[in-house]
Amino acid sequence: MDILSLFVIVPVLTILTLGFTKGLKQARLVSMVGSFVQLGMAINLVFAYFKEKAVNDSIMVFTQDYLWFKHFNIHFATGVDGISVALLLLTSIIVLAGVFISWKMPDLPKEFFISLLVLSTGVYGFFISIDLFTMFVFYEIAVIPMYLLIGIWGSGPKEYSAMKLTLMLMGASAVLLVGILGIYFNSNADGGALTFNILEIAQVNIPFEAQKLFFPLTFIGFAVLGAMFPFHTWSPDGHASAPTAVSMLHAGVLMKLGGYGVFRIAMYLLPEGAMHWSWFFIILATIGVIYGALGAIRQTDLKYINAYASVSHLSLVLFALLTLNKVAWNGAILQSLSHGLLTAMFFALIGMVYGRTHTRDISKLGGLMKVLPFIGAIYVITGLAYLGLPGFSGFVAEMNIFVGAFENPSMFNRVLTIIAVSSIVVTAVYILRLVGKIMMGPLVNDEFKNLPTATWYEKAGIILLLIPILGLGVAPLWLSDMILESLQPFIQGVL
Amino acid sequence: MNFSSFLLMRQEILLLTIILLLLIGEIFIPKNKKSSLVHLALFLFGIHTVAGFYAIDESSIFGGSFQTNNLIHFFKNVLNIGVFILLLQSADWIEEKLINENRGAEFFLLLFSSLLGMYFMISAGDFLMFYIGLELSTLPVAALAAYETTKRKSSEAGIKLILSAALASGVSLFGISLLYATSGSIFFNDIIEVISSTNLTILGFILFLAGLSFKISLVPFHFWTADVYEGAPISIASYLSVISKGAAVFILMILMFTVFKPLIEVWENIVYVIALATMFIGNLFALRQQNMKRFLAFSSIAQAGFILLGLITGNQLGTATIVYFVMIYIFSNLAAFGVVQAISLKTGKENMDDYNGLYRTNPNLSLIMMLALFSLAGIPPAAGFFGKFFLFTAAASKGYYLLVFLGVVNVTISLYYYLLVVRAMFIRSNDNPIPSFKNKIYMRLGLAITVIGILALGLYSPLYDYIYELSSVFN
């Protein structure tokens, strides 16, 4: 069995095993073992990738190809480059952390973990696919469990949020499907056979007219998942209603599918379309950056604050991708990884705070540092990393993005870059205000004095996320090199 | 005409034999053992289904009136499997309700007669045979729709069905007569050679199409659907929505792709408009349905609209995707109807609100229902995703990107109401939920087959390749 297919097979086996478990204890044990194996596989994959890359110079390594539907030339084709390896590692970390955070899932635990792992199967499958059809299948598999996860285990207006999220993402996949079919039926433009294979399509010169038509469709289809303004509205509601682990996976991993798809499919396969349309979408992305940041200031619910902050940060990823600059691209990928870890951490901490205080309203919280020192300290660290303090992952990413974006000599781009940069200030405002209010400050509620400290499984989840956050900040170069190397085909193809 | 050419009609002859055997059984089985009739019928039809897989030559008899080839034969097998599942799912109902009233045998006779009509319809080589098949397939169903004689709605369903069917087949017959007038023949093969897009031919074609659209319940001929489904016994609603619709789609496809192929310029536009209208109206009306049977009725109208996306291509790809989709649709819809039937039989509840909290009491039924609905909505890894994706691919291959886009928009709309049922079963709670119950063996078997079908048909790709190769016959 090859190294990549295992990323689908192991979660599926875990799901099947979960089907036979009874009660919370068995279910979480099986999920934890399964997720541990996946994390091990992901770490192993990173080392294997470096080893393979030293001898193998192709764009994608570990490629496997199984014919699926002969007449449509659909394959189950897998392969990874540095970007997907990094994202796979991110996914496996967040899934395991999510399992730890959900250690005490009271209601229907088996079903919860099954849905969670179905989601992760979809994400893994998406990142390893190099066939458009297979990719699309996994995309849908990743989205649909969200409905149950939010609907059953969520809080607040969960039915509404779950339906909104599912329908908006499925609506996006409607647009995407047309885009994919458009690419497919133009993949024989150079006289070859019709194909869904990304690497083969990248070699084809798709006619400009077709690129112009299908780029926006493909782009929007993915960008909705990446919370592009004005299609971001599913995201704050979804986050706010979702249970903790689902928010983590949702913001940490699922939304990364959007940026990855935009880059790998829309921009890589339709470069001329990207050139033609980038001015339009970059405006939307800039609006998203500012709008998300300003939205976060106005919110009083902890989850909404982070949800809007995610909109801002992920719009920054889209912004960076659309500047068509390799330094900014490098920053975009780093931002995806950094944001994934930080947001997952934030949601985990919010879940812990909420689990103890039973409120997420910042006006009712305050002085938690005194009673919850561990959670409080981590919260401050995460906050500082989030606003891009040097020494943490966020700084490296944003630095790259803005330096790269400013390299572009056109006035239009520079103005937009300056506007987008201002979001850093806004981010600092809401993060510092938040930390100041709920962590420092006076203790507002005497009932909070007896709050229990973090349990071992909560600490395990947090430390699991903290290690890569610090690692990414202190030693970003190995990752940066891996990404830069993988950007070569994009640079040749798109720029 | 010798014995071996008679064997081309093996499926029909076997089914007729079963009908006769059941008739004899009805006479000779003593009154207190009448329930063995159900087992007998299931057993005989099971054999018939299995025997159907024995290959048949491709040829035609009766001077071309009756034709068969591998694709038609394959499709008859699909219908057989569908009917067999349906019988398994309704066996308990027949045993509990009909046998006591001594009306069990008639049920099978009418159902099998209708199926026989469908065989003739899809094997037709001329319009006469086609018309006979059409009538034979419709009339017994009208009787079956009115089968629950104690319910007023059931009688209403029967009357509604027979009146609408009579009107539709009258219109269709008028269309056929116009086609005969312009071409001078009722044989498909003769008409193909002389057909041209004169006004009279087009008029004849449109009238003819109206008749078949009724059976497929395409907009604007869909008005009977919801009322009839609601009133009729569930197994008959299920039969109408999968078997009857499937067979009608199949023969419509054959005729469009052979006899009316020269008119493709004309019917492309018609199909385009009807497809959009059917998808949108079916989906939008389904949004607000509370009764599960009405809900599935509108859902099945919308599904018919998706099928037209394959029809619009007029080529081998279209044929293959339609047959593939219809097959998946049969399994998915049967699973959904099966669950509705199981619950209705035990509790008499048919409303969506009654399904609130179903997962907590009946997890297996809920999971089957969810799988069926996801397949209907087109969510992977359920087979419906593959069926729909290929239909869209077929339409896109002809450049109908806008139609595909609107089709996928409809998939999203449909997802909303399918999720409403999922929401009821999994998310909502209920003070008075449907109690936990165990199904009998036949029902369980019937549901299990559909589940295997939904999971396997999509992922097992050689099946599609097989259908694609069979589809070459009409192009």
* pLDDT at site B30: 83
Question: Residue A178 and residue B405: Cβ atoms within 8 Å?
Answer: yes
Expressed as residue numbers, the domain containing A90 is 6-494
Token pair of B408, please? 């996928």
Cα separation, A214 vs A207, in Å, equals 11
Number of domains in chain A: 1
pLDDT (mean) for B231-235: 91
Cis peptide before A230 (omega within 30 of 0): yes
3 state SS for B267-303 = HHHHHHHHHHHHHHHHHHHHCCCCEHHHHHHHHHHHH
Residue in B374, B404, B468 closest to A181 by CB: B404
Asked if B310 contacts B204 with a C-beta cutoff of 8 angstroms, the reply is no
Question: Residue A159 and residue B461: Cβ atoms within 8 Å?
Answer: no
Residue in B380, B404, B416 closest to A167 by CB: B416
Q: How many CB atoms lie within 10 A of CB A216?
A: 19
Compute the Cα dihedral for B220, B221, B223, B229 and give only its sign: negative
Q: At what angle do helices A326-357 and A373-386 cross, to 10 degrees?
A: 160
In chain A, which residues have pLDDT < 50?
A: none
Cα separation, A319 vs A329, in Å, equals 10
- B411 to chain A: which residues are within 8 Å by CB? 170, 174
Which percentage of chain B shows pLDDT scores above 90? 55
In chain A, the N- to C-terminal Cα span, in Å, equals 37
Compute the Cα dihedral for A18, A22, A27, A33 and give only its sign: negative
Nearest Cα of chain A lies from the Cα of B414 at a distance, in angstroms, of 10
Nearest Cα of chain B lies from the Cα of A46 at a distance, in angstroms, of 29
pTM of the predicted model as reported, rounded to 2 decimal places: 0.93
Structural domain includes residue A1: no
The alpha carbon of residue B10 and the mean position of all alpha carbons in its chain are separated, in whole angstroms, by 22
pLDDT class of B443 with cuts at 50, 70, 90: very high
Q: How many CB atoms lie within 10 A of CB B76?
A: 23
Query: Searching chain B, which residue's CA lies closest to the CA of residue A135?
Result: B380
pLDDT tens digit sequence for B58-97: 788 888 888 888 899 999 999 999 999 999 999 988 888 8
Structural domain includes residue A216: yes
Give the residue from B227, B225, B230, B219 showing the smallest Cα distance to B271: B219
Give the residue from A238, A269, A255, A381 showing the smallest Cα distance to A317: A255
Cα separation, B211 vs B209, in Å, equals 5
Cα separation, A367 vs B100, in Å, equals 75
Asked if B143 contacts B43 with a C-beta cutoff of 8 angstroms, the reply is no
Give the residue from B279, B385, B372, B275 showing the smallest Cα distance to B331: B372
Cα separation, A231 vs A120, in Å, equals 23
Asked if A150 contacts A168 with a C-beta cutoff of 8 angstroms, the reply is no
* pLDDT at site B151: 85
Residue B428 φ/ψ, nearest 5 degrees = -70, 155
Cα separation, A350 vs A332, in Å, equals 26
Cα separation, B151 vs A297, in Å, equals 62
> Which residues contact residue B330 at a Cβ distance below 8 angstroms, ignoring those fewer than 6 apart?
B78, B81, B82, B242, B243, B246
Residue A462 CB-density burial (10 A; 0-12 exposed, 13-18 middle, 19+ buried): buried
Asked if B148 contacts B178 with a C-beta cutoff of 8 angstroms, the reply is no
* pLDDT at site A1: 62
- For B57-101, where are the E strands, in sequence order? 59-61, 66-68
Residue A64 CB-density burial (10 A; 0-12 exposed, 13-18 middle, 19+ buried): middle
Hey, which residues 62-101 in chain A have their CB within 8 Å of chain B? 68-72, 74
Query: Searching chain A, which residue's CA lies closest to the CA of residue B416?
Result: A167
Residue in B374, B393, B408 closest to A72 by CB: B393
- The β-bridge partners of B124 are B66
Cα separation, A495 vs B466, in Å, equals 44
Rg of the Cα trace of chain A?
21
Q: What is the DSSP string of B113-133?
A: HHHHHHHHHHHBSBHHHHHHH
Give the residue from A299, A302, A314 showing the smallest Cα distance to A368: A302
Token pair of B185, please? 């023949």
Cα separation, A350 vs A347, in Å, equals 5
Cα separation, B24 vs A221, in Å, equals 62
pLDDT tens digit sequence for B42-59: 999 999 999 888 877 778
Q: What is the DSSP string of B239-250?
A: HIIIIIHHHHHH
Give the residue from A277, A336, A338, A315 showing the smallest Cα distance to A419: A315
Residue B212 CB-density burial (10 A; 0-12 exposed, 13-18 middle, 19+ buried): buried
* pLDDT at site B121: 92
Q: Is the pLDDT of residue B176 over 90?
A: yes
Residue in A69, A140, A144 closest to B461 by CB: A69
* pLDDT at site A287: 92
Residue B64 region, left (φ>0) first, then alpha (ψ -120 to 50), else beta?
left
Structural domain includes residue A242: yes
Token pair of A194, please? 């019709």
Q: What angle do CA A473, A475, A478 make, to 5 degrees?
A: 125
* pLDDT at site A226: 86
Give the residue from A38, A266, A281, A331 showing the smallest Cα distance to A135: A266
- B404 to chain A: which residues are within 8 Å by CB? 177-178, 181
Q: Is the pLDDT of residue B334 over 90?
A: yes
Q: Which residues of B touch A (CB under 8 A)?
A: 317, 320, 374, 379-381, 385, 389-390, 392-393, 396-397, 401, 404-405, 408-409, 411-412, 415-416, 419, 422-423, 426-427, 461, 464-465, 468
Token pair of B98, please? 């009909």
Q: Hey, is the C-beta of A9 within 8 angstroms of any chain B C-beta?
A: no
**Higher model confidence: residue B147 or residue B331?**
B331
Give the residue from B178, B181, B194 showing the smallest Cα distance to B262: B194
Nearest Cα of chain B lies from the Cα of A178 at a distance, in angstroms, of 6
* pLDDT at site B475: 64
Q: For residue A285, what are the CA distances in angstroms to A188, A259, A387, A487? A: 32, 12, 19, 21
The alpha carbon of residue A134 and the mean position of all alpha carbons in its chain are separated, in whole angstroms, by 19
Cα separation, B261 vs B353, in Å, equals 47
* pLDDT at site B341: 92
Cα separation, B276 vs B264, in Å, equals 18
Asked if B229 contacts B299 with a C-beta cutoff of 8 angstroms, the reply is no
Query: Searching chain B, which residue's CA lies closest to the CA of residue A68?
Result: B461
In chain B, the N- to C-terminal Cα span, in Å, equals 28
Q: In sequence order, which ranges of A129-233 are alpha helices (DSSP H)?
A: 132-143, 145-153, 158-185, 198-202, 208-223
Token pair of B23, please? 């008739």
Give the residue from A234, A74, A49, A37 showing the smallest Cα distance to A143: A234
Structural domain includes residue A261: yes
- Alpha carbons within 13 A on the beta-carbon side of A234: 26
Look at residue B154 and give its three-state secondary structure.
helix
Q: Hey, is the C-beta of A419 within 8 angstroms of any chain B C-beta?
A: no
